[in-house]
């Protein structure tokens, strides 16, 4: 669960890593995500999936993107939640679950 109760502060999930050891040279091809919330997200909330050196802005609670393609797949990733401005977020934004699937390939692109 990820909760944001203050505008202007980035909330990050714990680092997520692959569940199994990946082969050497594995590179991201695409990322799928599915997020559930406790209600409608307020206007101005932004979410990103970040790996070292690059972030993928999410355009919804579920989707797919190849924007992180080519990054080593064994890098950790985090989900970041942000809302510009200052002051309290009432009620707080609560991401109840988040599932992120990183698809990868081994070897040079074809």
What residues does 46 pair with on adjacent strands?
Answer: 82
Calpha distance 10→6 (Å, rounded):
9
pLDDT category of residue 20 using cuts at 50, 70 and 90 = confident
pTM, whole model, 2 decimals?
0.88
Secondary structure of residue 84 in the 3-state scheme: coil
pLDDT of residue 39: 87
The values of phi and psi at residue 28, to 5°, are -60, 135
Q: Cα separation of 47 and 45, whole Å?
A: 7
Which residues partner with 10 through β-bridges? Answer: none
Tell me whether the omega of the peptide bond preceding residue 109 falls within 30 degrees of 0, making it cis.
no
The pLDDT tens digits of the residues spanning 32-66 come to: 999 999 888 888 999 999 999 999 999 999 999 99
Pick left, alpha or beta for residue 87 (phi over 0 → left; psi -120 to 50 → alpha; otherwise beta).
left
User: What is the signed CA dihedral for 32, 35, 41, 43, rounded to 10 degrees?
Assistant: -20
């Amino acid at each position: 669960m990820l909760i944001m109760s203050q505008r202007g502060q980035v909330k990050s999930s714990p680092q997520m890593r692959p569940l199994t050891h990946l082969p050497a040279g594995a590179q991201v091809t695409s990322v799928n995500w599915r997020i559930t919330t406790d209600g409608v997200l307020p206007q101005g909330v932004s979410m990103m999936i970040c790996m070292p050196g690059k972030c993928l802005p999410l355009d919804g609670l579920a989707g797919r993107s190849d924007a992180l393609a080519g990054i080593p797949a064994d890098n950790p990733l985090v989900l970041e939640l942000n809302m510009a401005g200052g002051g309290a977020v009432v009620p707080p934004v609560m991401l109840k679950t988040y599932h992120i699937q990183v698809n990868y390939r081994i070897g040079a692109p074809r």
